[in-house]
Structure 1
Amino acid sequence: MTKSLDTITPGDVHTRTEIRAVFGGGPQGGICPTKGIGGNVSLYSDPSVGEKVGYYDGWLAEEDEVGPIFEYTGAGKVGNQSFEGNGGAVGNRAILSHAELGRTLRVFTQVGRVPGTDTRTHRYLGAFTLDALQPYVWRRVHGEDGKIRDVIVFRLRPDGEFQRTERDAIPPAEKTGSELVSFEEVTTAMLHSDPATSGTLGNPGKKSPSKTNRRPRKVPNKETSGLFVVPEVPSIRMSLRAATAATVAVRHGVSLTHAYKNYLESVGHETGVFQIKVEGLTSTLRSGLYDATDHVLYEARGSSSREDVRMAFSKVLDYNRYIEVEGRKAEPRPVVLLPAAPDPDMRSLLGRYGVGLVYRAENGLFVGDTVPPLS
């Protein structure tokens, strides 16, 4: 076991006392921030505990264009996790605001005990930051007591040297399946601008009081407490220009989805999204907006360009094939949701493969053959 108290490098194994001597943090708990501004937030993962309460921490086998992702589940072993209040919510807020407070996320996983004692040992995986575009997702899991609950899964990106081994990987899904859950979309763009409130999943069956198909009012963000700040010099392999462009595109797509969701609920429709596990994959997919009343699956994009239409077209068909709904014999109708009418050529593409189209007209109304009429 490494004994140096001057530094700890990825792969080193230490007791919590030794870790605290270098990085600070509390003597117990899974999320341990240092006090004040700056310093670290030490994240301790114990696979044997996580599996009992319905989740796994670890590396996703599938990388995206930016690089590897480590998923870390927030604090709170019983009931829905949150960003509000005390208890586990304090730690969840510490992760969310780490960059704002100048702190580094440092991840450790339990590997054993000091021989002849009950003192636990932890292996250091490295320094991390929250993903620049999607810092966390909501996920529905089955807890130790068998009850379904909603947890916060943080998406962490390595920030410098790190250790990645198969023993720290999330196990692949044993079978393919989908589950309808509440719609919550979280992006960096939303965390920069929207007010913070609850942090718990909303009720997809709750009806909006609005009864007009005008531009829906802006709904306060219900996902977070605290401000998420992307470091000025990202260590991930994405240029500032690319990150800014991507953030703007995501913001537009999320805004459009929320607006259409509000309209659907204003006319009495129930909405949600599907949480999809694919056999052999470690990542959990989330579909676009689902209209449970009319059995329609939407995929929104932030622009109506050829590239975005093609992306929405491919994604909605990809997700659609995994969805099975009790009482429905057929798959949902796949529909692309856009902020404006696309080119005729793209309309032809969608029609050729049976993919519907809904877009927002210049007057703010939603247009398309799956748009439910005002009651």
Structure 2
Amino acid sequence: MTASVEVINPGDVRTRTEIRAAFGGSPQGGICPSDDMHSVNLYSDPDVGEQAGYYDGWLAEEDELGPVFEYTGAGKSGDQTFDGVAGSGNRAVLRHAEQDRVLRVFTRVGKVPGSDTKTHRYLGMFTLDGMQPYVWRRVHGEDGEERSVLVFRLRPEGAVQHAAQDVIPAAEETTAEFVPFQAVTAAMFQSDPATSGALPLPKQRVRKGDTGRKAAPNAETSGTFVVPEAFGTKLSIRAATAATVAVRHEAELTQAYKAHLETAGHQTGAFQIKVKGLTSTLRTDLYDATDHVLYEAKGSNSREDVRMALGQILDYSRYVKSPEHEGEPKRVILLPSAPTPDMYTLLDRYDVEVVYRSHDGRFVGSLVP
């Protein structure tokens, strides 16, 4: 006769032994996959995270898809990774959908009275955000050294506990940290190349400096000056949507243009921005440190994307400062093809330039090196 296993619901507090009986996983570690239970159990310890320079928890700011829970990947020192033994837990989170496993989140709350046995509160089941499964972030570790960590963006799947004590603390001040050039993986998209010719191209307007170049995707940012870099692992996304395709186009476009800038001898990276009073971390797409140019990339040249890019770049550029350059950076929207003439008129009003990729793959725009 098989002993019955106690049901654990969101909000329940249990020991890891009790959790393992219900959901499997290992007795130690922060990311604990279980094949038998089709689960990847994620354990968060607020005290450990704060000492290591990060917070796990709910963002206070929800988007159009609802709430997001940020969970920092495995690896206590140095840059985190998806590779090798050190990256096995992070790979388990990234591939949970294709391996038919759900993500279950637990946060440490204390100890069993009279013992050293830790207790954990169950928050519920989650899945990776399909549009932006994770970001890279620069943090200061326990030893004071800067490092890059993976921050997974989790969406609730069913009933979850959304308690006030699990919300990430708001930033106490506004910062846009600049750090030395450092390779930081930025991929969050499928690795097969996205073509730039899938969208109809409007009649292109030739502007000053209309000499093209070659092309490419997206830098993960940190309030720090970081370096975008492609990550070659395929990501399983449950539904292929038009938005997902546009995001992949944006990533490929940004990576191509980043490669062009570096071929021209420019130093590239991104900015990670924290705004006082907010829990979320803003990130730019691409920054040319040599010429002090901030780029916002979009996967299409549609009116909606251009207007969104305009708002984003006007917002982000307020915070981007460089000791080598005076004032705010030059602002450029990076597109897969030329926008319509009236969009140029709009962008001219706000002193925002355009760089786009021509039919032959060259980059066109007055600021293209």
Structure 1 distance, partners of 2:118, 2:212, is 58
- In structure 1, what residue type is equivalent to 2:141? G
- Partners of 2:362 and 2:72 in 1: CA distance: 39
Amino acid at match of 1:7: V
The answer as to 2:286 corresponding to 1:324 is no
Structure 1 residue 217, shift from structure 2 partner: 8.2
Unpaired runs of 5+ residues, structure 1, are: 195-211, 232-239
- Following superposition, the deviation at residue 66 of structure 1 comes to 0.6
The offset of 1:249, in angstroms, is: 1.0
- Determine if the alignment matches structure 1 residue 310 to structure 2 residue 318: no
Flag structure 2 segments of 5+ consecutive residues without an equivalent.
Answer: 194-210, 219-228
Counterparts of 1:216 and 1:295 in 2: how far apart (Å)? Answer: 20
Three-state SS of the structure 2 residue aligned to 1:124 is strand
In structure 1, what is the equivalent of residue 365 of structure 2? 368
User: Tell me, what secondary structure is at the counterpart of 1:342?
Assistant: coil
Partner residue, 2:254: 257
Q: Scaled by the length of structure 1, what TM-score is found?
A: 0.85
Instruction: State the identity %.
Output: 62
Instruction: Show the counterpart of 1:162.
Output: 160
Task: Judge conservation of contact 2:250–2:297 (CA < 8 Å) in 1.
Answer: yes
SS at match of 1:324: coil
The CA deviation string for residues 88-125 of structure 1, in whole angstroms up to 9 with x for no partner, is x1111111111111111100000000000100000000
1:193 is aligned to 192
Q: Does 1:244 align with 2:241?
A: yes
Question: How many Å apart are 1:192 and its aligned residue?
Answer: 5.5
What amino acid does structure 2 have at the position aligned with 1:223?
Answer: F
Distance 1:100 1:28 in 2: 24
Q: Which residue of 2 aligns with 1:106?
A: 104
* Cα drift, residue 256 of structure 1: 1.1
Provide the residue aligned with 2:28 in structure 1.
Answer: 28
In structure 2, the residue matched to 1:358 is 355
1:228 equivalent in structure 2? 235
Aligned partner of 2:222 in structure 1 is none
Query: Matches of 2:99 and 2:40 in 1, distance apart?
Result: 10
User: What is the identity, as a one-letter code, of the residue corresponding to 1:341?
Assistant: A
- The CA distance in 2 between the partners of 1:261 and 1:308, in whole Å, is 20
Which amino acid counterpart does residue 78 of structure 1 have in structure 2?
Answer: S
Question: Comparing 318-327 with 103-112, which one deviates more in the overlay?
Answer: 318-327
Residue by residue, what CA displacement relative to the aligned partner does 1:155-202 show, whole Å, maximum 9, x if unpaired? 111100000111101100010011246564333xx23637xxxxxxxx
Q: Which amino acid aligns with 2:169?
A: P
1:369 positional shift: 1.0
Partners of 1:71 and 1:95 lie apart in 2 by: 13
> Is the CA contact (8 Å cut-off) linking 1:135 and 1:186 kept in structure 2?
no
Output the aligned Cα RMSD: 2.2
TM-score (norm 2): 0.87
Change (3 A) 1:47 1:32: same
Structure 1 residue 364 displacement after superposition? 1.8
Deviates more, 1:337-346 or 1:75-84: 337-346
Match of 1:338 among 335, 340, 352: 335
